[in-house]
Chain A
Amino acid sequence: MSHTVLVCDDAIFMRTMITDILAQAGFEVVGEAETGSQAVEKYRQLKPDLVTMDIVMPDMGGIDAVREIVKQDPDAKILMCSAMGQQALVVEAIQAGAKDFVVKPFQPSRVLEAVQRVLG
């Protein structure tokens, strides 16, 4: 049974790339979200094994989404997708309950390492 993933990013480009990386490694991307509030809603519906979460998104940002999701499910496994220079935001996200992070530009091997750590 492969792990299910919810991919949250406001850029289709990024969602496509993350989905490709994960699908090739045998994960099942069961949903995508473009905003933080969508992410919270879809998490509720889909109960995925893993969430990849962009930090900067319209509507509700990624960090607030992490807080909301962790409130619903303290065991939620959330992997932050950040950019260079977002040190403070990443620290904040981890304190909010994110389990790990990867930094754009993504290298598939690093994404998969992080995913393994989060699921491990």
Chain B
Amino acid sequence: MDLSQYAELFLAESREHLSACNQLLLEWERHPASPEPVGGIFRAVHTIKGMAATMGYGRVADLAHRMENLLDHLRRGGKSPGEDTLQLLFRATDALEKAVGLAVAGRERELDVAAILADLDRAGAKEPTAPAAASPPPAAASFAAPSGSGRLVSVTIRPEAPLKGGRATLIVRKVQSLGVIQRMQPAAAAFESDDFDGQFVFELDSAADARDIEVAIRSMGDVERVTVGDEEEHVTPAESVAAGGGGSGGAAGAGGGRTRHIRVDLRRLDTLMDLIGELVTERGRLNELAARWVGQDPVIDEVAIQISRLSADLQNEIIQARMTPVWQVFDRFPRLVRDVARQLGKQVAFRVEGKEIELDREILDELGDPLVHLLRNAVDHGIEPPAERKRAKKDAEGAIVLTAVRERSSVAISIADDGRGIDRSRILAKAKREGIVGPHVESLSDDQLLRVLARPGFSTAEAVTALSGRGVGIDVAMTRIRALGGSIEIRTEPGKGTTFVLRLPVTLAIVRALIAAVGLERYALPLTYVAETVELGTTPMTKMEGREAMVLRDRVVPLIDLRELLGTNGGSPPPPPRRPVIVLEMGERRAGIVVDGMLSQQEIVVKGFDAPQGTLPVFSGATIMGDGVPALILDAAGLV
């Protein structure tokens, strides 16, 4: 049987169980007296063991088996685990995770688990053995009856058969349907032991023919030898028939209890998404053609509308299918925060909210690393050591909350700590020294602060400790988030804490966009960040930090003229007299983008794009328009 087809399923499910192990270990660490976690961990490890053995991953199964032994002792012992034991289980879980990964990659031989196995065995040996499982269940046979009348039956189970005691029990039950078993050697209780060698003898009082008795015993499977009375065995082993008849079984039908979920390889979904992307592009072309031909044959319009509707439905379905709840990535963070806090001698209560919020799988996968950066920073630089917190009259235990919230067509993910916050004056001084802000600037807004912090390497200089090293990794995180079409915001208050908010589109592949004209070119602006559009000149104009701005309902909105920013081709017509302004909004920030005209609102398929050196950092990708001509997608985060 080809097992490779199950490898991915094995990996995916093992990871879920490992994640559960980590969660439960954390819970156990917090509530050592609680009996629930150890049972759950035991089950998770046990499941991994069974799966790994089935896949033929002997070393993974062995590691899981040794963990299971220790857990079984702990579970039966019912005592709170010691600190050492918990640490060992954390380490073993890590080792098992690594082992699973290596095994699936075909590199199980590289696995070195000797040390952890030794530790597990040593710890297992220290745990008191469980009180013998409450008196063995009543044996199937009765021993007290006098002997003499029955025939002696001796059975040998095949040496290679697993769990011979189980097989023997089945045989005994079968034989009991034929008569009464008198004495048995060894006693039935021995069947529960792993030492049982598969041979047993009993006396049977039965009217049945010796041959029938033998057939009945052999019918239980795995029997090597049977003798009844003085007769030698004469029955050839019953060849088992492998398959039942009727090849049509398993067809999908109306079974009420049929499961409603299947697992699909993510790459399939990606391919499907690509194909639908192309379909959407072609649909656009069809619509344009239909508009041209509708005079000749009105039916073409009907067909085009139908196709539009169907492909829109299809697209929706596939986007839904790609949606993944954030817990799939968030679930590993409690362990991460705990480990970092331990290393640094901090006390942190970590909480996750909005676990069920969904994001496109691709975005979620990309989000992991930036979040790790930000969480590490929060523990390392945000949360103060317990003594410092006490001095500041704060709870010795700091709090970090990771929250996901759905906002219209984006998801906001925030990481909030109640630590020391960022000292703006220090950052300002440093920013001035490095010429990042002008010498006359008196304070930094949150936005400016973030921009300063996100400069690559900004805080890695001598000021790391002084300004709490907030810049480390922020540039990396920011680049990633921006590449996903998202944004980062920061809010910080000295002594109260710091919050980062990441905003991300719900899906990457297809976005609704406003198509704007500038000169002879067309540009796409994702609607996610479009707040409204107004006509230039219909609102009062003003200046803001030397830039053109307009006043929109009492708020000053800086203006960016795309003609000026991007330049226009030589043959471009002059700007029209009435130019639209597209107001982009990202968190608290706004900007008005002045274009020449607005052409349409449509769904565009986002294609990645490698900007040549020197390209303005205002494009996030490209798309192919209905007529086959490419258009660039403007990056709201780069503009606002």
Q: Does B616 contact A (CB under 8 A)?
A: no
CB contact list, B38-57 vs A, under 8 A? 40, 42-43, 46-47, 49-51, 53-56
Q: How far is the CB of A58 from chain B (nearest CB, A)?
A: 6
Tell me the chain A residues, 21-79 only, with Cβ under 8 Å from chain B: 21-32, 42, 45-46, 56-58
User: CB-CB contacts of A1-20 with B at 8 A, as 1s and 0s?
Assistant: 11110100011111011010
Contact of B137 with A95 in the complex, beta carbons under 8 Å: yes
B interface secondary structure, majority: loop
A residues in contact with B246, CB < 8 Å: 1-2, 26
Residues B169 and A95 in contact, CB atoms below 8 Å apart:
yes
Contact, CB under 8 Å: A26 / B243: yes
Known: A28-B249, A28-B251, A58-B40. A105 touches B193 (CB 8 A): no
Q: Is the CB of B257 within 8 A of A13?
A: no
Q: Which residues of A contact B56 (CB under 8 A)?
A: 105
Bound: A17/B249 CA distance, A: 16
B162-A84 in contact (CB<8A): yes
| Residues from chain A with Cβ under 8 Å of B149 in the complex | none
Name the distance in Å between B239's Cβ and chain A's nearest Cβ. 10
State which residues 246-267 of B face A: CB under 8 Å: 246-251, 253, 255-259, 263
The stretch from B5-13, B352-360, B590-598 touching chain A is: B5-13
Expressed in whole angstroms, the minimum distance between the Cβ of B22 and any Cβ of chain A is 17
Docked pose: A76 CA to B599 CA in angstroms: 69
Contacts of B137 in A (CB 8 A): 91-92, 95
Chain B positions within 8 Å of A86 at CB level = 163
Q: Mark B95-121, 1 if CB is under 8 A from A, else 0.
A: 000000000000000000000000000
Interchain nearest-CB distance for A40 vs B (Å): 12
- The one of A23, A45, A91 that contacts B249, using a Cβ cutoff of 8 Å: A23
User: How many whole Å from A109's CB to the nearest CB in chain B?
Assistant: 6
Residue on A nearest B247 in the bound complex, by CB: A26
Most buried by A among B137, B193, B194, B255: B255
Q: Is the CB of A10 within 8 A of B43?
A: yes
Whether the pair B165, A87 counts as a contact (CB closer than 8 A) is yes
Q: Is B81 an interface residue (CB 8 A)?
A: no
CA distance A29 to B252 in the complex (A): 9
A25 touches B251 (CB 8 A): no
Known: A30-B257, A83-B46. A2 touches B192 (CB 8 A): no
B242 in the interface, Cβ–Cβ < 8 Å? yes
Contact of B192 among A4, A45, A88 (CB under 8 A): A88
Residues from chain A with Cβ under 8 Å of B9 in the complex: 12-13, 16
Contact of B28 with A by CB under 8 A: no
Find the B residue at minimum CB distance from A107.
B1
Chain B residues within 8 Å of A112, by CB: 240, 242-243
Does A31 lie within 8 Å of B6, measured CB to CB? no
Residue of A2, A6, A19, A82 touching B163 (CB-CB under 8 A)? A82
Residues on B with beta carbons closer than 8 Å to the beta carbon of A87: 163, 165-166, 191-194, 196
Question: Whole-angstrom distance from the CB of B621 to the nearest CB of chain A?
Answer: 36
Q: Is the CB of A10 within 8 A of B194?
A: no
Cβ A27 vs Cβ B13 within 8 A: no
Q: Which residues of chain B have C-beta atoms less than 8 A from A101's C-beta?
A: 163, 166, 170
Given contacts A13-B54, A30-B255, A92-B137, 5 further A-B contacts (CB under 8 A): A2-B246, A11-B17, A101-B163, A105-B54, A107-B1
Chain B residues close to A by CB (< 8 Å): 1, 6, 9-10, 13, 17, 40, 42-43, 46-47, 49-51, 53-56, 65, 133, 137, 140, 162-163, 165-166, 169-170, 173, 191-194, 196, 219-221, 240-251, 253, 255-259, 263
- Can you list the 10 inter-chain pairs with the closest CB atoms, starting with the nearest? A31-B257, A2-B249, A23-B250, A90-B166, A88-B192, A103-B162, A105-B54, A25-B243, A113-B240, A30-B255
Give A residues with C-beta under 8 Å from B: 1-4, 6, 10-14, 16-17, 19, 21-32, 42, 45-46, 56-58, 80, 82-88, 90-92, 94-95, 99-101, 103-109, 112-117, 119-120
